Structure 1
């Protein structure tokens, strides 16, 4: 058995010696830091530069069991990338996405549009909340804060927050903001969305072939502050191929977006702006994710730990099954975590406890990923060419998800 990383040994020794309090939890009542213990015989190298660990946590709601991946980003054989089913608005089990890409391990990604009970007749897209970058290419942008699924955002965080790895192989937290426009003979129309399941009120969004075939109608439902608000009565869709408008519609449609073009969807004032376009009109697109330059990978998640300190205002009451991603050693070591079981009915971690656990395991900064039934961690056994699910997901089986964080060792 290989020795534990020095940083991890030190963190656990300090914890056992002093039983530190989580003073940074941002709550009115001090909360004892959960005690983390590695499980003997349940750790080891699964591929060059990638380790797997199992641990237990004595937390406020009981004992929780967890699973951890540690990737050494200084190892030239190791890389990190986004796992997807091939479309933004699609879902697959994490294990299937990992095997399809040849990943040696991974964890589920951001929260996503899983249910549309507030909007009868509107199809849930399955698309993730936040921005994403795959293999250096921006895939999507973030929905407005009020349109997200998941627990309330901590103060100062946004749906635009991501954990990312750059071309320099260093992990960091970032905030990616979409900006763009379409130029027409009548002027310029600003863009406020990119392959996302919800558009800002009054905005226009662009959808590429990466969106998939799912209906884009969800994009005009809700408001910037209330996901459950009714769908807009003013909507318009424009299809562009080869730089010219080829079709228009009074409602967002479904079906594949042309690979040699794009679709524009507008709501409210944005719909009125698009109505000026007619079939045959020339249209030129300019867009991008501000902050994404130099990134090879990014996935959405709200920060819980930054620079070694938990964020202020983290919830210290509600316990749940959690997944998380973080980095230490100045961004040179990546940590991916998923908990076992149905913590909503049994034990679990609060967001404040999750921040503490990630710090004890070696992370300097970390984000919360989708939890509950989505929490899944997969890894190969040494010598195998397929991953297996290492944690015990809620309900006893993998939930299909739109994206994951994949670890590669070549």
Structure 2
């Protein structure tokens, strides 16, 4: 049994079996009901699209589903993102820019800063992100996440990803890193993330983008709304040496090969020891809790189904438009799912999402961002670009930080 399986088992034991299973009653797939005017069927080799009604506790929801067969050597998955961690774009533009044949929105993200007036919104995602085998970012502290409450036993480090073995899986990706200097070494607490742990140092690279780094020093590990730290320091490393220092985090594009270190509280105190010209070596990587197979892509969210069983403590009261991804057949089958946000339809609770994904054939399932972010796109055979298959609840596509793209080769 893996560490994450032990966590889920402990969480289930902590709650009654009645709570874990009773929350799933009431959902049922009731057959195809083409409301969007777009027919279902084969999108590309190994990729099919379908839509159907789902009877939930609060009324009829409408689901849009992409089935991806990873046993087909001509189909694969990768992260969709705008080229910068702190940037956003619509799923359809992200898919068309990369040449994806289909996709769905991804992780929850830093969508607003009403609690920190004057602080620039980063738009960066909550969890870790890996694109085309390259690490982009690590996870913010649990208390700094945007989105619904996490189920027991889960964290912002939870990911869904696909390894270089072309199998999808659930896992945890934790950051490990260090800053080494001639006068001493200290750990790294963040990588290209909109919130750093209290008393830590975070690294920002060219992957971050040009957005202000101030937000990284706001809030605490348990309270996203807590004030921004007044004890901060920033150091720029280029060519293995300190080239600039500042008392407050800055903004603007970071050159390739350059790392900006941002510290708060005790982390700021460590950075103040570094002088211009001093040699510094920064190392960082994401470490998987379970898989020894490197990831081709990974993104954050949270699990709702593991080993064919729903996680304990899933919300069974709040219905909303949602997106999710399911895994079956030992990681060879992936189901990308999004609800329709049209006025004619209701949403589903997280517990109902877990039930629905299991009914569709998933053994493991993972919740993605929902509400106005929920978007599923697919390209009709012979078309030049993708079309949005569901109706986003905001009336138009929302710009998001990332998503899951489906790619095919001849």
How does the TM-score come out when normalised to structure 1? Answer: 0.92
- Give the gaps of 5 or more residues in structure 1: 1-22
For the 8 Å contact 1:25–1:311, the answer to whether it is kept is no
Alignment-derived partner of residue 354 in structure 2:
355
Alignment-derived partner of residue 54 in structure 1:
51
- Given the superposition, is the C-alpha separation of residues 74 and 269 from structure 1 closer, same or farther in structure 2, using an over 3 Å criterion? same
In structure 2, what is the Cα distance between the partners aligned to 1:199 and 1:284?
Answer: 20
In structure 1, what is the Cα distance between the partners aligned to 2:151 and 2:159?
Answer: 14
1:272-287 matches, cutoff 5 A:
272-287=269-284
- Given the superposition, is the C-alpha separation of residues 317 and 109 from structure 1 closer, same or farther in structure 2, using an over 3 Å criterion? same
- Given the superposition, is the C-alpha separation of residues 331 and 321 from structure 1 closer, same or farther in structure 2, using an over 3 Å criterion? same
Alignment-derived partner of residue 229 in structure 1:
226
Alignment-derived partner of residue 304 in structure 2:
304
- Given the superposition, is the C-alpha separation of residues 342 and 184 from structure 1 closer, same or farther in structure 2, using an over 3 Å criterion? farther
For the residue of structure 2 that corresponds to 1:210, the secondary structure is coil
- 1:144 CA displacement: 0.2
In structure 1, what is the Cα distance between the partners aligned to 2:33 and 2:316?
Answer: 29
Alignment-derived partner of residue 271 in structure 1:
268
- 1:51 CA displacement: 0.6
1:156 aligns with 2:149: no
For the residue of structure 1 that corresponds to 2:30, the secondary structure is strand
For the residue of structure 1 that corresponds to 2:93, the secondary structure is helix
Alignment-derived partner of residue 6 in structure 2:
none
Alignment-derived partner of residue 290 in structure 1:
287
For the residue of structure 2 that corresponds to 1:177, the secondary structure is strand
Say which of 73, 78, 92 aligns to 1:76: 73
- 1:30 CA displacement: 5.3
How does the TM-score come out when normalised to structure 2? Answer: 0.92
- 1:326 CA displacement: 1.4
1:333 aligns with 2:333: yes
1:190 aligns with 2:183: no
Say which of 12, 16, 26 aligns to 2:19: 26
1:70-149 matches, cutoff 5 A:
70-149=67-146
For the 8 Å contact 1:203–1:268, the answer to whether it is kept is yes
For the residue of structure 1 that corresponds to 2:358, the secondary structure is helix
- Given the superposition, is the C-alpha separation of residues 331 and 160 from structure 1 closer, same or farther in structure 2, using an over 3 Å criterion? same
- 1:32 CA displacement: 2.1
- 1:211 CA displacement: 0.2
Q: Which runs of 4+ in 1 moved over 4 A?
A: 27-31
- Given the superposition, is the C-alpha separation of residues 259 and 304 from structure 1 closer, same or farther in structure 2, using an over 3 Å criterion? same
In structure 1, what is the Cα distance between the partners aligned to 2:210 and 2:264?
Answer: 20
- 1:131 CA displacement: 0.3
User: For this pair of structures, how many residues does the alignment match?
Assistant: 387
- Given the superposition, is the C-alpha separation of residues 229 and 40 from structure 1 closer, same or farther in structure 2, using an over 3 Å criterion? closer
- Give the gaps of 5 or more residues in structure 2: 1-15
- 1:330 CA displacement: 1.0
Per-residue CA deviation, residues 68-117 of structure 1 (Å, 9 max, x unaligned), is: 00100011001100001100000001100100000000000000000000
For the 8 Å contact 2:20–2:311, the answer to whether it is kept is no
Alignment-derived partner of residue 4 in structure 2:
none
Alignment-derived partner of residue 323 in structure 1:
323
